[in-house]
């Protein structure tokens, strides 16, 4: 089997899907690896470092993709890249299929067996393959660094000759991997942290990091069997809105991380809530790529509304490309080697991980949510 790694083409993307240490590991198992020239340079991995690991470095992307049995990428492929892949080849990437339905359709038409890392089930034996967690850890950390840089005051409490400066108050919405890392980072910087989540099970995790948990008193629980958040009743969301409004008004920094089903960003912070926040406050909306948790967020931009700075960062892991690439690469390598049997990739359609991650196969869209979304978007005859 030949694994190929093209250079990422999306504007601003600096990660690479496979780093030299992973190439060496895969090659040691009898897998051929080829990398497009310059693919690792934005993440500070030179072509020579790939050659030293035993990988081939190829200058032409089209021929690289055409010769690959398994294509590894960070971002979804472009239509051009899909057209350059060999029919019947496999693709492993963060596809986010619900957000990229036309690419899903193109992959099916090309006969590509596409695996989406964001669809890998959250089970124990898949933890080391979980790119969402790896990248969310970075996003949660970086969100706090951005907030600290943009805030007009200190994060920690300082006692000076001129008097005491009290610690900043940080409110984190959503305590998944990104939220928990944001809590931990804000605490390390000395902030007073409060956090909320619709899943009652995470209250203990929040408290273990030194933050205070606040939540809606309700019998409803938003945690699905797979560990994601699900939608709740209108009454629950009414109470949640009241809680969020109170906490936003009392906070210097608000970091939002909430997604439903891992892809949909609920609108949790209204324009009215922003108006009641103190001038100089900062909102970092980590759900910006999915439309944002704040209704005033502009994805990829920073806006000032009534003295409140609202930041909608995109692709934060790419701002730390070396570590992000290393972690992502290890996730993909674990996935590949988990199904590497007798010198071939075992595409076991009965395996829970394969079934969950597979989006297209043999000309069909096998990921039910994607198929349903495409069918619903087609004009009725």
Active site annotation includes 348: no
Residues 86, 68 contacting (CB under 8 angstroms): yes
Q: If we measure between CA atoms, which residue out of 277, 276, 282 comes closest to residue 313?
A: 282
Phi, psi torsion values for 273, nearest 5 degrees? -65, -40
Residue linked to tokens 């692709």? 315
Catalytic residue among 22, 116, 130, 199: 130
122 is catalytic: yes
Residue of 51, 99, 105, 122 marked catalytic:
122
**From CA 272, how far away is CA 277, in angstroms rounded?**
9
Tokens of 65: 């993709």
Q: Known catalytic residue: 246?
A: no
Of the candidates 21, 115, 17, the residue with the CA atom closest to the CA atom of residue 72 = 17
Residue 53 phi/psi, 5-degree rounding, is -85, -5
- Say which residue the tokens 């030194």 belong to: 210
Residue among 154, 218, 228, 322 flagged as catalytic: 228
Q: In what order do the strands lie in the sheet with 192-196?
A: 212-213, 192-196, 169-173, 253-256, 282-285, 308-311, 302-305
- DSSP-assigned letters across all residues of 33-72: EEEETTTTGGGT--HHHHHHTT-EEES-HHHHHHT-SEEE
CA–CA distance, 303 with 269 (Å, rounded to integer): 15
DSSP-assigned letter for residue 201: G
Active site residue 251: no
What DSSP line would sit under 123-171, residue for residue?
-GGGGGG-HHHHHHHHHHHHHHHHHHHHSSS-SS-EEETTEEEPPPEEE
Angle of helix 177-188 versus helix 131-150 axis, rounded to 10 = 40
| Catalytic annotation, pick one of 63, 78, 133, 218 | 133
Q: What is the DSSP string of 91-120?
A: EEE---GGG-HHHHHHHHHHT-EEEEGGGS
Chain position carrying tokens 């043999």:
362
127 is catalytic: yes
> Strand, coil or helix: what is 284?
strand
Q: Is the dihedral of CA 87, 121, 202, 333 positive or negative?
A: negative
Which of the residues are catalytic? 122, 127, 130, 133, 228
């Amino acid at each position: 089997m030949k694994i190929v790694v093209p250079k990422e083409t999306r504007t601003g993307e600096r990660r690479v899907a496979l780093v030299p240490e992973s190439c060496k590991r895969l090659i040691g198992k009898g897998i051929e690896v080829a990398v497009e020239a310059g693919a690792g340079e934005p993440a500070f991995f030179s072509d020579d470092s790939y050659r030293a690991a035993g990988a081939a470095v190829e200058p032409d992307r089209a021929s690289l993709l055409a010769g690959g049995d398994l294509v590894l990428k960070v971002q979804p492929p472009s239509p051009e890249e899909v057209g350059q892949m060999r029919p019947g080849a496999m693709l492993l990437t963060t596809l986010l299929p619900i957000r990229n339905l036309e690419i899903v359709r193109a992959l099916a038409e090309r006969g590509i067996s596409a695996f989406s890392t964001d669809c890998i089930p959250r089970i124990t034996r898949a933890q080391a393959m979980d790119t969402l967690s790896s990248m969310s850890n970075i996003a949660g950390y970086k969100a706090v660094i951005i907030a600290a840089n943009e805030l007009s005051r200190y994060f920690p409490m300082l006692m000076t000759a001129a008097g005491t400066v009290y610690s900043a108050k940080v409110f984190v919405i959503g305590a998944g991997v990104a939220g928990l890392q944001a809590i931990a980072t804000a605490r390390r910087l000395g902030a007073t942290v409060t956090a909320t989540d619709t899943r009652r099970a995470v209250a203990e995790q929040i408290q273990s990091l030194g933050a205070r948990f606040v939540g809606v008193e309700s019998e409803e629980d938003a945690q699905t069997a797979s560990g994601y958040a699900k939608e709740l009743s209108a009454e629950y969301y009414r109470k949640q809105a009241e809680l969020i409004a109170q906490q936003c008004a009392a906070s210097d920094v608000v970091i939002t991380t909430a997604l439903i089903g891992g892809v949909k960003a609920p609108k949790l912070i209204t324009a009215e809530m922003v108006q009641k926040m103190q001038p100089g406050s900062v909102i970092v909306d980590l759900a910006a790529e999915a439309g944002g948790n704040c209704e005033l967020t502009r994805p990829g931009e920073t806006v000032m509304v009534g003295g409140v700075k609202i930041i909608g960062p995109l692709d934060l892991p790419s701002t730390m490309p070396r570590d992000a690439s290393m972690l992502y690469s290890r996730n993909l390598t674990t996935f590949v080697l988990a199904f590497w049997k007798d010198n071939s990739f075992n595409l076991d359609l009965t395996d829970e991980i394969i079934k969950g991650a597979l989006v297209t196969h043999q000309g069909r869209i096998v990921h039910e949510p994607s198929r349903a979304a495409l069918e619903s978007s087609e004009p009725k005859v």
